[in-house]
A and B are shown apart, each in its own frame.
Chain A
Amino acid sequence: MINQRVFFRTIACMPILIFGLQSCAPVKEYQKQYLNDNEMQLSARKVEKSENSFQSYREGSAGANGGKTGGGCGCN
């Protein structure tokens, strides 16, 4: 039986281990054609707004995603 806590923490650490070990060499503005792509933005997209809302209503947790954290409506 997999320990869920260990499983999720391992998954979360994988991108850090795989990619984070690469050097953080400064990237100049003219080199950011991939980073500036609309699909690469680090925040949730506007079209996900309602999804994030219903997930915060139907689940016991919220926050750390730029969306609702609690309060502001009778739903949470």
Chain B
Amino acid sequence: MALLFSFYQFLSAFGQASHTDSSTYSKRPLKLEEVNFVSSYYNQDGNNSAVTGGIGTEKLVDLANVLDLVYLKTDKHNRLYNLNLEMGIDHYTSASSDKIDPSTVSSASSHDTRYYPSITLSRKDNKRTTLGIGLSYSNEFDYTSWGIGASYTKASKNNNREFSVHLQSYFDQWTVIYPIELRPPGGGFSGHGGGRKDNVPNTYKPRDSYSSSFSYSWVINKRFQMMTLMDLIYQTGLLATDYQRVYFTDNSERIENLPGKRFKLPLGLRANYFIGDRVIMRLYYRYYMDDWGIRSNTLSLEMPVKITPFMSISPFYRYYQQTVADYFAPYGMSTTGQTYYTSDYDLSKFSSQFFGAGIRFTPENGVFKMKHFTSLELRYGHYIRTTGLVSDIISLNATFK
């Protein structure tokens, strides 16, 4: 924490420009307003690995870290500019992706690190209109992504209602990696999975994603507000994972094959209600449908309780259920007449529960009496799925102002 605080002080020194000015309006320089550090540890296990055709270990550990900086500036017209810089680093180890080449004890595919920086800039004017643009990049061993987005938000005169639209596109590229025994002669990736090298260039395939997100929020009364959300999502390109195996009823084996297009439509509803002086109810519901046959329902409830004005505890529970995708079959059950096929249990029929609690500290004089360390939040959740997958996640959020 001391290291993060020192980093915040270092950035503040560069974020504030001070100089005298004799013009008729006052300069409002770009100022570092807030720093957030989010870190999480995720651990899962199960026995339906898609890399080995729907059976086998799904053990995976992921450590994710995101640092985001919020800069604010007001111009001479009193328009508020918000510059958000974000840098994320995820490192994971996976027993299942290690099986891309099962002949090795441990291959290069057993772990990977993903880097994902992004920058967004928004401007809010005196007519309660906010416009924003953003750029993002992501890189991991076999996947590169470039993203671009734009947003528009309009609030009502009394700020009791707000409408927002966010457009986002990702232009991604896979490096094709086939299971080692299914690599065509002279192709399918070189150098990954234990030292076998095919002397041909790697094959690359694109995946593009487009989404339009709409939200409308409104105040019901002094204690109650709601929001509706709707996304229109379209993906095209390589939507299967080429190192995932599928086994058939005739004992043959192929690489997973899924349609090159997918349309998704999630609809969400949030409702937050302040009960008495200490308890908040946060309710969320989502209905989802896509053209791969999946229909799902998500319902979550969180009840933060303010133990003191500076500390709150938030137990939560989430229930999820989904129908099976049209192309899914368990291990060894796909039929050779199918055009599309997968044994990825993330696309099977299942229900899941996710529950846990969080604790949040916002002391008046700062966390650990550090004035700029305004908030510390810790959160633990346990996830269980009817397919047998089990996971745990611990998250931390530290805020400096």
Cβ B393 vs Cβ A51 within 8 A: yes
Bound complex: CA A50 to CA B297 (Å): 20
Contact check, A19 vs B273: say whether CB atoms are below 8 A apart: yes
Q: Is the CB of B220 within 8 A of A19?
A: yes
Interface stretch, picked from B19-27, B99-107, B277-285, B333-341, is B277-285
A43-57 interface (Cβ within 8 A of B): 45-51, 53-55, 57
Q: Are B397 and A47 in contact (CB under 8 A)?
A: yes
Distance (whole angstroms) from the CB of A48 to the closest CB of chain B: 7
- A22 contacts B270, C-beta separation under 8 Å: no
Q: Is the CB of A64 within 8 A of B209?
A: no
A24 interface residue per 8 A CB criterion:
yes
Contact with A61, one of B142, B322, B362, B379 (Cβ below 8 angstroms) = B322
**Is there a chain A Cβ closer than 8 Å to B249's Cβ?**
no
The residue that A74 contacts in the complex, of B142, B224, B272, B283, with Cβ under 8 A, is B142
CB <8 Å contact, B231 and A64: yes
**Of A15, A29, A35, A59, which one neighbours B296 at CB under 8 angstroms?**
A59
Which single residue of chain B is at the shortest CB-CB distance from A11? B299
Q: Is the CB of A54 within 8 A of B42?
A: yes
Classify chain A: how many residues form its interface, as a range.
35 or more
B5 interface contact, C-beta 8 A? no
Within 8 A of A (CB), among B296-313: 296-299, 304, 306, 312
Residue B64, interface by CB 8 Å: yes
**B145 close to A (CB within 8 Å):** yes
For B224, list chain A residues within 8 Å (CB): 19, 22
Q: A46-B36, A74-B140 are in contact. List 17 more A-B contacts (CB 8 A).
A: A8-B285, A22-B220, A24-B220, A25-B221, A32-B222, A35-B274, A38-B362, A39-B314, A40-B272, A45-B377, A47-B395, A51-B354, A54-B44, A60-B322, A63-B211, A64-B229, A69-B266
Nearest 8 Cβ contacts at the A-B interface: A71-B209, A64-B268, A71-B170, A74-B143, A64-B266, A50-B40, A63-B266, A61-B288
